[in-house]
Structure formats: C-alpha cells, structure tokens
Amino acid sequence: MTDLTGKVAVVTGSSRGIGRAIAIRLGARGAQVVVNYAHGAQGAAETVAAIIAAGSDAVAVQADVSDPGQIEALFDAARSRFGGIDIVVANAGIDETGGPIVDVTEADYDRMFGVNAKGAFFTLQHAARTVNRGGSIVLIGSGSTSRPVAGFGLYASSKLVGNYLVGVLAQEIGEREVTVNTILASATDGAGYFSAGADNDELRTLVQNASPLGRMGSVDDVSDAVEFFIGPLSRWVSGAQLLVSGGQN
C-alpha cells in the first residue's frame, strides 16, 4: 500500500467515474486532494465527502479544462489551499465516440479537441510548471488509441495528443525527478459509456465477451495503475504508456 501522507494531489474531472475513484484512492492513501469538476458540483461534493470520511482532506474546485485560464486558476487554488503540488492526474475528458469521420462537424471537432487535446495540453503544462521535485504526473488516456477502430476517429485522435505530450514531458522535466506516464484505459465499468444507469446492456455484453479475462475493467483497476505510477515501485518508469485492458488489444 502506497503511503501518500503529506502529499498533495490534483485530479481533474473527479466528480464521477474514473476520476472520482482515483481521487478517493489517493485520499485513502493519505493525500490531500483537489477535486476538480466542470459541471458536476454535487458529484464533486460527494467525492470530497468520501475522501474526508477516509481520513484525509479535500476541496472541490470548479474549472473547465478547455479554458487555459481556468486551469491556471485551478492550480493556483490548489497551492493556496494546500501548498505545493506533488501529484497531478489529468483525467478530465469527453468520452464519446464521435461517430464516422464523414459525419463529424467542425463543432463536434472543436468540442472534443477542446477538452481532450487542448485541455490535456494545458493541464500537463501547468502540472509540469508546478509539481514538486520528485512528483508524479499521470494522464488518463484511452485504449482506443492503440489501434484504429471504425467510429472512433474523432475521439481516439483527440486522445492521441496527450500520449505524445507525456513522452516529451518525461524528457523535458526529468531532471527534476518528476515521472510522467499515461494509462490507456479500456472500456471501464462505471465510467463514460458505461456509467451507472446508462442503457448499454448489448454493448456491455460484447465488451465482456471480448475480454480474455471475461469481464470489463473497473474504476478500481485504473486506480491501481495510478497508485503504481505515483508510488516508489515506479520511480524508474517515465514516458510510458500502460494499456490497462485485461489483455484485450
């Protein structure tokens, strides 16, 4: 178990799904957590409450990552509340396929890339500027970027941007002993398309049947990978892309 006592973490998009699970995990390990949200104030409050119940401290900060000014304000609020930042998990994103490329509009493109590409870029930039020496930066990417899939052209291409940036940042800030890594999460129960209450039984069955392990990934599976990347066992791992898919390529 990783001891994060005395550490400060910022987790974007942590009012629900994967981001919430990561924020709660970090809090349970002792970190003080900045819970970021764009629209889900109630969900963010629930995440904060769960972290406090686990024995740590947390605060919710609203910021839309498609706006670099709001990202800057998020990091300023984190430092104002807790001091230096040790861990940044860039999780916020739009989890929609986007459909066939021939049907994508400019508005669709701007919306998807505004969060998944631009948001990732400036979140990683601010993380690189502010994270303490010896800290960790983790980007939550998508397993859809590992191979072309019809209907995922818009979504997967928007997520590819962050993958490249992680490799570059690992080289640019490595001298500060900061590790920068990507988790390529596959279809995850309780997140995105598979959030609670979503009408997706047929798709859920297809995903489960395609898995060598016979199940979908869970938000805890992704949190496990984050805990590895921010812990002492991965201090020599940076610039990596870890496919968290249960063996499904």
Helix (H, G, I), strand (E, B) or coil at 64: coil
What sign does the CA torsion over 124, 128, 130, 132 have? positive
Provide the 3-class DSSP secondary structure of residue 163: helix
Out of 37, 109, 155, 193, the active site residue is 155
How many angstroms separate the CA atoms of 35 and 62, rounded? 8
Question: Following DSSP, what letter does each residue of 97-151 receive, concatenated?
Answer: ----GGG--HHHHHHHHIIIIIIHHHHHHHHHHHEEEEEEEEEEEEGGGGS--TT
155 is catalytic: yes
Mind telling me the catalytic residues? 155
